[in-house]
Structure 1
């Protein structure tokens, strides 16, 4: 009986040894590859771009009296810098200039905004690649009033406020839609012997290249 038990134990050990050897010879499974999260987009940096839009306005003082309410298309460019904090709040500064055909005429008089531009601060909150923002600052523009062929021009300085929504198409290219309200104040025009000025609302689309 003891011989039978000893023979069985030896047989079991002999059968188990090759199986254990086979298990030890198998290569260990490769560790699973680590999955890294995509990098979060940052708005920090300099940028340059272009824009085009439409403006409609209202004359001030004598321009309002004569019904000179300029409107028309414009196009131009902008340059700026953004800084995004770790809490996703964004601050920036931007300067732009536009030219176009923003004009009006009545009763033998005409008014034309030859060019206009702004220097503005921007404040926004970044939702990754989506950036809503508000903006405001200084505005300037050259306006010409013609009275039966006699023209006088003035450079106006005023203010502007607005807001917009910008989206990062790639890591370098962004697109935006923007609205600005601008008040360029009034200046004296010698050919009409009175003060005149204008306000305007502008909606525009733009693209930027971020460095």
Structure 2
């Protein structure tokens, strides 16, 4: 009798273990997948606007004859400038290179030249543009850069050099502070039937700008 009871217990125990093995296993839920935050980059196209102040020399020289120089006095040393820019940056590690072009309105007044037979007043250029290369070092969203290239107006051409600091305060918007030195070639004008050549025109520019940047990642 005892042997029969032991056999029954063993049989029921085996059947219970088999039934438990058929039950589904409880597994821990998979860990949520968190995408890594994209790394910020300066690479991409941008457009923007700017405004600031420009100042020119208070005098320009003209060649009157081989031994005489007539000095022209400017009635305004500087004034407001403002315009728009477009460009492209490419980032390689911490280095950023690019190209930028801009067109600027400039309120620089006029220049009056005194001659033995009278005076002549010439308006300064009321606009100028530049086409420049940019190269700098990025510290995440801050960019320190140097810039230089070609400068032009409607009747003069020359060159420009400068530098600036730009900071991207959102993924698509960045602000900059920039300074430029602009040098333009001589210009000619007629007075009393004689053609005179002005000296080179040079001026400084300090401006702040706002850029909208396409494709920051």
User: Taking structure 2 as the reference length, what is the TM-score of the superposition?
Assistant: 0.71
Superposition pairs of residues 192-207 of structure 1, within 5 angstroms: 193-207=196-210
Alignment-derived partner of residue 169 in structure 1: 169
Residues 60 and 72 in structure 2, CA contact (< 8 A), matched pair in contact too:
no
Alignment-derived partner of residue 114 in structure 1: 126
Superposition pairs of residues 30-179 of structure 1, within 5 angstroms: 38-58=37-57, 59-62=59-62, 65-68=71-74, 70-85=77-92, 87-106=93-112, 109-142=121-154, 155-179=155-179
CA distance in structure 2 between the partners assigned to 1:37 and 1:130 by the alignment: 22
CA distance in structure 2 between the partners assigned to 1:91 and 1:194 by the alignment: 38
Structure 2: gaps of 5 or more residues? 1-25, 63-68
CA distance in structure 1 between the partners assigned to 2:27 and 2:71 by the alignment: 89
Distance 1:83 1:188, change over 3 A: same
Alpha-carbon offset, residue 32 of structure 1: 6.7
Q: Deviations over 1:50-73 (max 9, x none)?
A: 111110011442298212364111
Structure 1: gaps of 5 or more residues? 1-26, 143-154
Distance 1:112 1:207, change over 3 A: same
Alignment-derived partner of residue 21 in structure 2: none
Residues 94 and 120 in structure 1, CA contact (< 8 A), matched pair in contact too:
yes
SS at match of 1:186: coil
SS at match of 2:46: strand
CA distance in structure 2 between the partners assigned to 1:64 and 1:167 by the alignment: 46
Residues 106 and 128 in structure 2, CA contact (< 8 A), matched pair in contact too:
no
RMSD across aligned positions (CA):
3.0
User: Taking structure 1 as the reference length, what is the TM-score of the superposition?
Assistant: 0.73
Residues 70 and 104 in structure 1, CA contact (< 8 A), matched pair in contact too:
no
Superposition pairs of residues 174-185 of structure 1, within 5 angstroms: 174-185=174-185
Alpha-carbon offset, residue 105 of structure 1: 4.2
CA distance in structure 1 between the partners assigned to 2:176 and 2:210 by the alignment: 6
Distance 1:64 1:97, change over 3 A: farther
Alpha-carbon offset, residue 100 of structure 1: 3.1
User: Which stretch of structure 1 is more off in the superposition, 32-41 or 47-56?
Assistant: 32-41
